[in-house]
Amino acid sequence: MANLSAISMLSEVDGALLVDKPAGLAAHDVERAIKAHFNLVKTGHGAMLDPGASGVFVMLLGDGTKLSQELLGADGVYEGKIRLGRVTDTCDCHGHVLSEQDAAAVTREALEAAAQEFRGDIYQTAPAFSAVRIAGRPEWEIVPSGKDAGEKLVHIYRFTITDYAAPFVSFTLSCTKGVSARALANDFGRQLGCGASLEELRRTKTGKFTLEGATSLMELMKLDAVGLKNLVIPVFEAGRR
């Protein structure tokens, strides 16, 4: 817990903090944990990240919160893995299995052909449920995602198959705000005729901010006020395109 001098120091800090969010925690919970640990007064965030995903998450401090609307609309780049043959209620590996089948017969050529259908403008329906970890419990809990269940138009700049070792398909994804990688995995499996779910997802870039500049939540919690302040990107720099 920060002392009075640290509270005074951090109250004057404005800008962006790049966090390497761990899988299993909701982005809001990560923000709340850091805010409480350092007694921060005013915080916000950039583009959100699914509870089951890890990677770069932009937390905003003080006047940095004025950048929120701009950063919420940022494009994202991801690396991930899809499991063929398994369909779940959350469209990822943490949900309840709805169906399962052998997908060993799926070829690399079939994957490439299917991937072409998910580039450019596409319509998606966000998964109705998400898996989250509750503090103090080892298991994942299935909760309503709270997202609009209707179809929406999104844009995928790049969806590239990088490796295939059945039943796992590794990929990179570059897309606009609002794309659900879980929905993409589910739709990809439907296109292949075998079903699929998202196994792993890691965001490597959001807007201009990359994973290389992010600090893990665990390491952040070990810092004192000076250490945290040194990691904050000033507002003028964070907002510069």
Any idea which residues carry the catalytic annotation?
50
Distance CA 36, CA 198 (A): 32
Alpha-helix residue ranges (DSSP H) falling in 48-132 = 68-72, 108-115
From residue 127, how far is each of 1, 150, 161 by CA, in Å? 38, 10, 22
Nearest of 185, 220, 219 to residue 201 by alpha carbon: 185
Tell me the Cα Rg of the chain: 19
Q: Which two tokens stand for residue 228?
A: 């945290």
Q: What is the DSSP string of 65-81?
A: GGGHHHHHT--EEEEEE
125 in Cβ contact with 151 (< 8 Å):
yes
